[in-house]
Amino acid sequence: MNLKEKKVNSSTVYDGKIIKVEVDEVELPDGRHSKRECVRHSGGAAVLFVKGDEIALVRQFRYLYGEETYEIPAGKLNDGEDAQQAALRELEEETGYRAISSRHLLGIYPTPGYTDEIIHIYFVADAVYAGQKLDEGEFLNVQFVPVKRVLEMISEGAIKDAKTVCAVLAYQLSNNN
């Protein structure tokens, strides 16, 4: 069965700093038309930085959830940046650590029903301290937490961020095998 949906029309309903929202009219496989609400995003990049036996976690206030979260260092791609550049830039800005080497761990679709964001996650084990460089208006704390404790925090629901859960579980599974 062909499942493809074709764009018939698109209108931009919001164009902001982080997201752009479009409502597209699409033709479904059976020829009928429907609407798709589309949050367009430049892409996300994140780093699982493991120093010895500890993972770098960023504690920050997430306005959308009204609470502080623990997440691996991450951010959005700037104009002209690729995901790896963005990931390593965010690692250095947020934690102060400059990666010596890195490898791609996973690319994830955070919530494919309404956003086109792809979050690329890199793994870093070697890095040198070069000093934290937070953006203006960026408030966060960095903590190094033992892998075992991070796994418990995921089980207990104290860590819920999807990119962090994906990265940590993938790392742990690759170590088990």
Whether the Cβ atoms of residue 61 and residue 158 lie closer than 8 Å to each other: no
Per-residue mark of binding to a copy of itself, 131-150 (x: CB under 8 A): ------x-xxx---------
67 is catalytic: no
User: Distance between CA atoms of 96 and 68, rounded to whole angstroms?
Assistant: 21
Cα torsion through 115, 117, 118, 121, rounded to 10: -120
Whether the Cβ atoms of residue 91 and residue 49 lie closer than 8 Å to each other: yes
Contact status: 108 vs a copy of itself (CB under 8 A): yes
User: Distance between CA atoms of 140 and 119, rounded to whole angstroms?
Assistant: 20
As given in the structure block, the two tokens for residue 130 are 């070069």
Q: How many residues bind a copy of itself (CB under 8 A)?
A: 69
Q: Which residue, 98 or 147, has its beta carbon nearer to a copy of itself?
A: 147
Strand order, beta sheet including 33-41? 6-15, 19-27, 33-41
Per-residue mark of binding to a copy of itself, 6-25 (x: CB under 8 A): -------xx-xxxx-x-xx-
**Which positions from 41 through 80 interact with a copy of itself, judged by CB under 8 A?**
41, 44, 59-65, 68-69, 71, 76
At residue 77, the 3 state secondary structure works out as coil
Check 25, 136, 138, 156 and give the catalytic one.
Answer: 136
CB of 14 to a copy of itself, least distance (A): 5
β pairing state of 19-27 and 44-51: unpaired
Contact status: 82 vs a copy of itself (CB under 8 A): no
CA distance from start to end of the chain: 37
CB of 86 to a copy of itself, least distance (A): 13
- Catalytically annotated residues: 136
Where along the sequence are the contacts to a copy of itself (CB under 8 A)?
Answer: 1, 3-5, 13-14, 16-19, 21, 23-24, 26, 28-30, 32, 34-39, 41, 44, 59-65, 68-69, 71, 76, 106-119, 137, 139-141, 151, 154, 157, 160-163, 165-166, 169-170, 172-173, 176
